[in-house]
Each structure stands twice: as C-alpha cells, then as structure tokens.
Structure 1
C-alpha cells in the first residue's frame, strides 16, 4: 500500500476516474445504441403525421370520385332503362298497328303487359286507312325497310344521348 497517493485537488480526482467514466459511457452507449433520441422520435412523429394527413386527403379524394361515379352510373342507368322502355313501347305499338303517338299511353313494364294493353287499345282505335301501317317516328311511314330504318334512327339517337 505504499503506492497509495492521496488526491488533494479536483483535477487529480478527475484524472484518476477519467478512464472509469469513459468505460461507463461506452457501456451505456452499447446498451442504448438501438434506442432513439427524443429529437429523433419527434422528427419521426412529425413525418408520420404528415404522411397520415396526405393519406387521409388522398382517401377523401378517392371517396369523392367514387361517389361522383356512383351518381353518374345511377343517372345513366335510369336513362338507359327509360330508353329501353320507350323502345319496347314503340315496338309493341307498331306490332299492334297502333299509331306511334299512342305508344306512350301503353301501360306495363314487361313486354307481355304492354302487348295486353296494346291489344285492348287496338280494339278501341280503328286502324289508319285501309291497311295503311301506322306512322312511325315523326313523319316517316312504315314500309318495307322504313320500320327498320326508323328503328335504326331511334337506336342511333339513343346511342348519341348516351355518348354525351
């Protein structure tokens, strides 16, 4: 124990324990090397909040688009059903030799219901002239190919409405 020297100043004390403090610092660094500092956590949280806000904004925009598409599909479906119903009524009116102007007066949703109503109506209304076919689409008369041409015009008109 002759080597023991009494430490009398702070500088001597700091010099004597410097290596021990360095060892403890290395141990703590090794122990907590995978941990984040509070500054890193704050930066990550800020970045995450920004990404979450952008994702929510994108989600809302997508939901708005879907809603708009649903409304468009619904509107187009209604228009298509109305056009199909009108075409079916025109067909039934022509088949029963009714004036095309009366096709809107036919009642029913199915072809059978429309045919039954058209038969009742044709019993009340006399045919036009002696065997002359009913008028079809405006002023055009049904003749060989005239009905087909009229149907094609009607189909094209409906197609053009849906193309808009």
Structure 2
C-alpha cells in the first residue's frame, strides 16, 4: 500500500477517472468486437425482404421441388421422342418404341438394331394386288361400269 497516492487536485481526479473510463471502454470493445451496431445492421439488411414481402414477391413462381418435378417430366418426354425417332429410323413398329433401352442415343440405336434383328425384316404391304387374278378382277370392274353407263 505504499504506492497509494492521494488525489489532491481536481485535474488529477479527472485524469484518473478518464483513465479508468478508457480501460472500461477497451474491455467492452473487446467483449463485443464481432457484433454489429444497430446502424450497421440496418444498413446491412436494408435490401432484405421480410417473409411476408418475400411470399408476395415470389407468388406464382415454382418451388425447387416443383421445378425438379417439371424437369424430370421434360426429360421423360425428350427421351420418349428420341426413342420414337430411333424406332422409326430402324423400321420398328411404333408400339415397340418405348421398349428401347439405353442411357443415350447411341445405346438406344444399338438396342433398336438388335430388336430389329430379332423381329426380322419388316415386310411392306404391296401397293397393288400382284396375284394372277388381276384379269379376272378387271373384267368384273369393266362389266360393272358398262352396266352403270347403261350400255
């Protein structure tokens, strides 16, 4: 207690009080060093929307789940269109288009060729009857026409 010095003047008192206040201010600043002041918070978050304002602003937009569902549906349609195109190019019936498998167009084409080999060559219907009965049919049509004309 030998280092105690009595304060005798007002200036000494104010000096000691200001030192004490400065030490206290520094300890408070250290304690709240990472925190924002109310003004800083207002400036930082002034562009943010409240939950109610956000709902109003984005009303009618798709949610991420709905967008993912739509994307999956679009992908399914695109895959179906590719399968139909490949089946048509390979000469497969439309009904077999959805049976094609593969992750990409190249694999689907391979599958279509394999399926085409299993089914055999698709025979096209003749445009006109090629049997030997043509003359007989022609004669029948001619007689029917002559009866209609009244000859």
Scaled by the length of structure 1, what TM-score is found?
0.40
| Structure ranking higher on relative contact order (CA contacts 8 Å, 6+ apart) | 1
Select the structure that is richer in helix.
1
TM-score, L = length of structure 2: 0.43
